[in-house]
Amino acid sequence: MFSTFENRAIVSWDIVTRSDLHIGGRGSSGPSDVDLPVLRNNNDYPVIPGSSIKGVLRTELERLLRGCSVDVCTIPDVCYSSRWLSDNPERKGKEVDPCLVCQIFGSGGNSSPVRVRDATAAGKMTVVRDGVAIDRKTRKAAKGSKYDLEAVPKGTVFSGKVTVENCTLYGKEYARLGGLLSLVEFFNACAGTMGHSVSRGYGEVEINIKDISVISAEDYLNGKCSGTVYENGTTEYDEFVSLALDAWRACVSVKKE
């Protein structure tokens, strides 16, 4: 998949919190004064790890494609993992052809074309909220169950990037990128949550794409290493995204047959 460089798309996006968000960790440069702190980088800015973003999006794509009657694998038994190969012995020795989810997010022995970077908050402000565990038998607070939880407040903007390598899929130009863009639309419309304590009101977010840069091998040879930039809100952006989405839908239609 990566033996030849065809092109690379770099998507810049903002993740905006629509409710308080808690993604826990011990990333603070100093001692924590709360029981459950948020994850921070070395400059004490809250971050959403790229692995968390990627995990949420991959799970949503699995669910979405199954709902479209497309056969996809399931973590941890992803395509071409040892367990998957034992269940699909007929695939041994044949050309590698992962499911659509693994074509975007990677599989066993096959690196991911999509590389999600950490998203960093624009500011350091957080809030601390009290929590308490409830004893299900007495329906009262369990003894010694009170805790403090740190969260990033509603309205915080996290900025990050995601890179998509070799965007063509099954001969459809920019289909792999289209799969990611389609997934972001679905996530905003139907899911829109990440982090901890989602069932208790935390973690509602929205992903807003700012621009997409596409760099080809030809761009590199011509010294145009920034490639072509499509800024959201322009006609060029809409036309390019429409092209990528159509290519992705064509791939999904083929896999349904």
Q: Locate 256 and state its tokens.
A: 């349904």
Mean pLDDT of the chain: 87
Question: What's the pLDDT tens digit per position in 33-42?
Answer: 677 889 999 9
Range(s) of the domain holding residue 197:
7-256
Per residue in 90-141, pLDDT tens? 767 667 788 899 999 988 767 889 999 999 999 999 998 876 666 566 655 5
pTM of the model: 0.86
Structure tokens at 12: 């810049």
Number of domains in the chain: 1
Kindly report the CA angle at 19 between 17 and 20, in degrees rounded to 5?
A: 90
Phi/psi of residue 213, nearest 5 degrees: -105, 130
CA angle 124, 151, 19 (to 5 degrees): 105
Q: Does residue 2 belong to any structural domain of this protein?
A: no
Torsion angle in degrees (nearest 10) through CA of 115, 159, 207, 232: -90
- C-alpha separations of 30 from 7, 21, 40, 160, 190 in Å: 42, 21, 11, 24, 38
In-domain check, residue 1: no
pLDDT tops 80 at residue 82: no
Strand, helix or coil at 197? Answer: coil
Q: Does 221 map to a domain? A: yes
Question: How much is the average pLDDT of 159-173?
Answer: 95
Instruction: For 216-250, write each residue's pLDDT tens digit.
Output: 999 988 999 889 999 999 999 999 999 999 999 99
Question: pLDDT of 175-196, one tens digit each?
Answer: 999 999 999 999 999 879 999 8
Containing H/E element for 100? helix 100-105
